[in-house]
């Protein structure tokens, strides 16, 4: 059995890790870290786990935990892992970080967008960006995985084949994203109260959201050159789910005509047809967040528009599963040589 420790186990992403790992045959949770609830029974903080999780919340002693655990998940605020990580720990255990600390390769980009000093930039190069479908082989060898952001996972997977194949002009890419409220975390803030979110929709972080450079970096690798995009997140009155609607101008083929929808679908098939967790929907079916709720799937589809010469790309995932804890477990499976889907054969819940 793999012994897993979780730092930040009482946030929504941490709790989703607990939910998924509770159903994972090869894992035993050995540490439920939560600074806010030290010595409280975990199941009293998340009553859904009553009689399912017996443990008590512990403080964040990463040194001690590194000696006990085979893998440590950090579902912590930006800057936490960067401030405590040492080479010594990396020799003892594996790390899967759900924060942004090691997602961006360029230190200055991180510090500019996050407005935090990075305390351990020496690990940036080693860290593997844990988008399993793109970096599977590197993840298998990794000691330190940077688990991608929720918006980022959805945005990248939705646009990747077209950028990679050069079918769109990446500088025309506009990503309009919509997220359920669990993405905002369990902190007690007026903005996230039921009465403020319910019956309401708004954009936020317009032009400044921190997932922007993460999308740009990864799509830049696909394009083979820097990419600059617009990314606008919105808050939707639902608990879970991210929907991405992305727009880009199609690039003409050598014969001067634009790619057809069939040619575009073929690009998705090329990259995703063997991927368990990416479902290219039938032509004309628009992804809905409800169809992936509680599961590790990303549903994607495309529609071309001959009138404007653009393609509309759509993707949907559960922000707490494929957008956070599920992908973290998928990374863990790869790192420990387990079947990639172990513990993740979660059937979407509808309605």
Q: Tell me the closest approach of the beta carbon of residue 64 to a second copy, in angstroms.
A: 28
Q: Which of 38, 203, 252, 273 binds a second copy (CB under 8 A)?
A: 203
Q: Does 287 bind a second copy (CB under 8 A)?
A: yes
Rounded-to-integer distance, Cα 275 and Cα 266, Å: 14
Total residues at interface with a second copy (CB under 8 A): 83
Rounded-to-integer distance, Cα 1 and Cα 173, Å: 44
Which x/- pattern over 85-124 shows residues binding a second copy (rule: CB under 8 A)? Answer: ----------------------------------------
Q: Name the residue with tokens 């669990």.
A: 182
* Token pair recorded at residue 173: 């890419």
Nearest to a second copy of 200, 257 (CB atom): 200
Catalytic residue among 132, 150, 154, 286: 150
Q: Does the active-site annotation cover 286?
A: no
Q: Does 38 bind a second copy (CB under 8 A)?
A: no
Q: Does 196 bind a second copy (CB under 8 A)?
A: yes
Rounded to 10°, the helix 107-114/211-223 angle is: 150
Stretch that binds a second copy, among 94-102, 119-127, 162-170, 307-315 (CB under 8 A): 307-315
Q: Does 163 bind a second copy (CB under 8 A)?
A: no
Q: Tell me the closest approach of the beta carbon of residue 92 to a second copy, in angstroms.
A: 30
77: left (phi over 0), alpha (psi -120 to 50) or beta: beta
- Cα 347-192-96 angle, rounded to 5 deg: 50
Q: Does 211 bind a second copy (CB under 8 A)?
A: no
Q: Does 350 bind a second copy (CB under 8 A)?
A: yes
199: left (phi over 0), alpha (psi -120 to 50) or beta: left
Nearest to a second copy of 101, 217 (CB atom): 217
Q: Does 1 bind a second copy (CB under 8 A)?
A: no
Q: Does 200 bind a second copy (CB under 8 A)?
A: yes
What is the torsional sign of CA 166, 102, 10, 202? negative
Give the distance, in angstroms, between the CA of residue 99 and the centroid of all CA atoms in the same chain.
10
Q: Which of 1, 28, 38, 50 binds a second copy (CB under 8 A)?
A: 50
Q: Name the residue with tokens 């655990």.
A: 69
300: left (phi over 0), alpha (psi -120 to 50) or beta: beta
Q: Tell me the closest approach of the beta carbon of residue 170 to a second copy, in angstroms.
A: 12
Q: Which of residues 216-275 bind a second copy (CB under 8 A)?
A: 228-230, 232, 234, 236-241, 243, 245, 247
* Under 8 Å between Cβ of 314 and 302: yes
Q: Does 294 bind a second copy (CB under 8 A)?
A: yes
Q: Name the residue with tokens 């404007």.
A: 308
Point out the residues that are catalytic.
Answer: 150
């Amino acid at each position: 059995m793999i012994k897993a420790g979780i730092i930040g186990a009482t946030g929504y992403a941490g709790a989703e890790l607990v939910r998924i790992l509770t159903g994972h045959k090869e894992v035993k949770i050995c540490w439920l870290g939560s600074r806010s609830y030290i010595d409280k029974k975990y199941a009293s903080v998340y009553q859904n786990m009553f009689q399912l999780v017996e443990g008590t919340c512990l403080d964040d002693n990463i040194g001690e935990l590194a000696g006990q655990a085979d893998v440590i998940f950090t579902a912590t605020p930006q800057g936490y892992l960067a401030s405590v990580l040492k080479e010594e720990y990396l020799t003892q255990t594996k790390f899967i970080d759900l924060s942004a600390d090691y997602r961006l390769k360029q230190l200055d980009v991180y510090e500019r967008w996050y407005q935090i000093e990075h305390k351990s930039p020496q690990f940036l190069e080693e860290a593997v960006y844990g988008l399993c479908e793109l970096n599977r082989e590197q993840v298998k060898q990794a000691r330190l995985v940077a688990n991608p952001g929720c918006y980022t996972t959805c945005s990248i997977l939705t646009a990747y084949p077209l950028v990679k194949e050069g079918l769109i002009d990446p500088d025309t890419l506009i990503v309009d994203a919509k997220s359920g409220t669990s993405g905002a975390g369990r902190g007690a803030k007026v903005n996230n109260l039921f009465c403020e979110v319910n019956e309401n929709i708004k954009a936020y972080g317009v032009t400044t959201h921190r997932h922007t450079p993460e999308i740009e970096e990864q799509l830049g690798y696909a394009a083979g050159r820097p990419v600059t995009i617009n990314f606008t997140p919105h808050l939707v009155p639902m608990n879970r789910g991210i929907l991405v609607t992305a727009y880009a101008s199609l690039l003409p083929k050598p014969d001067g005509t634009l790619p057809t929808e069939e040619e575009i679908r073929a690009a998705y098939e090329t990259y995703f047809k063997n991927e368990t967790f990416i479902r290219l929907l039938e032509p004309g079916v628009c992804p809905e967040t409800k169809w992936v709720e509680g599961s590790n799937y990303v549903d994607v589809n495309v529609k071309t528009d001959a009138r404007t010469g653009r393609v509309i790309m759509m993707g949907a995932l559960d922000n707490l599963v494929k957008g956070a804890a599920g992908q973290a477990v998928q990374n863990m499976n790869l790192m420990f040589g387990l079947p990639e889907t172990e513990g993740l054969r979660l059937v979407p819940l509808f309605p």
